[in-house]
C-alpha cells in the first residue's frame, strides 16, 4: 500500500502551506469573498483635527449609528427596504437588507466630545478635533516591590 498526497490541499508539514492556501484562486474567487462589502474610508490629518470620509451611497442620515466607546470610534449603518408591487394577476414582495460596521481606534489627543458628522451626496464626513495632552499624565511610574 502506498500513501498518496492529495494535490488539492497543501501539506501542513511543508513551509509552503500558507502561501499555497492564499495563492489558490478558489480562495479569493469564492462566493463569500464577493459578498463582503465595506465602505471605503479616507482619513486626513491637519494640525488641529482629523477628517474621516466614508463612501456610503444610497443611505440616509437616519441609517447611520456613530458611537465612541473606550477610545474606539464605530461607524455602522443598517438599511432595510421592503417593496411590494400589486398587479391584476400577481403580487410581488421583495425585501432588501444591508449593513456594515467599521471601527477605528482613536488617538489619545482626540476630543471625543467634539466629534461632528455630516452626510451629503453619498459621503459621510466626520470631523474629529484634537485636544492638548498633558505629557506628564502619559508617563506612569511603576514602583517595583
- What is the chain's mean pLDDT, rounded? 79
Task: Give the separation between CA 101 and CA 75, rounded to whole angstroms.
Answer: 6
pLDDT tens-digit profile of 32-88? 455 557 889 999 999 999 999 999 988 899 999 999 999 999 999 988 877 777 777
- Percent of the chain that is helix, strand, coil (3-state, to 5): 15, 45, 40
Pick the CATH number of 37-132 from 3.40.50.150, 3.30.70.980, 2.60.120.10, 2.60.40.790: 2.60.40.790
**Bridge partners (DSSP) listed for residue 27:** none
The pTM of the full predicted model, rounded to 2 decimals, is 0.61
Amino acid at each position: 500500500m502506498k500513501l498518496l498526497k492529495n494535490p488539492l490541499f497543501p501539506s501542513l508539514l511543508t513551509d509552503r502551506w500558507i502561501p499555497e492556501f492564499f495563492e489558490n484562486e478558489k480562495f479569493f474567487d469564492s462566493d463569500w469573498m464577493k459578498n463582503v462589502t465595506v465602505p471605503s474610508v479616507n482619513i486626513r490629518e491637519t494640525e488641529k483635527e482629523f477628517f474621516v470620509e466614508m463612501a456610503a451611497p444610497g443611505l440616509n442620515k437616519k441609517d447611520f449609528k456613530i458611537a465612541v466607546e473606550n477610545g474606539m470610534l464605530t461607524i455602522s449603518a443598517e438599511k432595510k427596504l421592503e417593496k411590494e408591487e400589486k398587479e391584476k394577476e400577481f403580487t410581488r414582495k421583495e425585501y432588501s437588507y444591508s449593513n456594515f460596521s467599521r471601527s477605528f481606534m482613536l488617538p489619545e489627543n482626540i476630543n471625543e466630545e467634539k466629534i461632528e458628522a455630516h452626510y451629503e451626496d453619498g459621503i459621510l464626513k466626520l470631523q474629529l478635533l484634537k485636544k492638548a495632552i498633558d505629557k506628564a499624565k502619559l508617563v506612569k511610574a511603576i514602583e517595583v516591590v
